[in-house]
Amino acid sequence: MSGIKIILDKCVGCGLCIKACPLSAIELKDMKAVIDLDKCNLCGACIESCTFDAIMIERKVIARDDISSYKGVWVFAEQRDGIIASVAYELLAKARELAKDLNTYVGAVLLGLGISAKAKELIHRGADKVFVVNSPVLEHYIAENYTKAICGLIGRYKPEIILAGATITGRSLVSRIAVNIYAGLTADCTGLDIDKEKKILIQTRPAFGGNIMAQIISPDYRPQMATVRHKVMPEAEADASRKGEIIQESFDENLQDKRIKFLDFIKETTSTVNLSEADIIVSGGRGLGEGKNFALIEELASVLGAAVGSSRASVDAGWIPYSHQVGQTGRTVCPKIYIACGISGQIQHLVGMQSAKIIVAINKDPDAPIFKIADFAIVGDLFKVIPVLTKKFKEILKK
Residue-level pLDDT at 399:
65
Residue-level pLDDT at 381:
92
Distance CA 74, CA 72 (A): 6
Distance CA 321, CA 84 (A): 27
Residue-level pLDDT at 63:
58
Contact of 125 with 241, CB cutoff 8 Å? no
So where are the chain's domains? 3-58, 67-255, 280-398
pTM over 0.75: no
Residue-level pLDDT at 348:
82
CATH of domain 3-58: 3.30.70.20
Domains 3-58 and 67-255 are alike in CATH topology:
no
Residue-level pLDDT at 208:
66
Spell out the per-residue pLDDT of the chain, length 399, in tens.
Answer: 468 889 999 999 999 999 999 999 999 999 999 999 888 888 889 999 999 999 998 876 655 667 888 999 999 999 988 889 889 999 999 999 999 999 999 999 999 988 888 999 999 999 999 999 998 888 888 889 999 999 999 999 999 999 999 888 899 999 999 998 888 899 989 889 999 888 899 998 877 655 678 888 888 888 999 999 887 888 888 888 999 999 999 888 888 877 888 777 766 554 455 787 788 999 999 999 998 999 999 999 999 989 999 999 999 889 998 889 998 778 888 889 999 999 998 888 888 888 888 999 999 999 999 999 999 999 999 999 999 999 999 888 776
User: May I ask the CATH class of domain 280-398?
Assistant: alpha beta
In this structure, which topology does domain 67-255 adopt according to CATH? Rossmann fold (3.40.50)
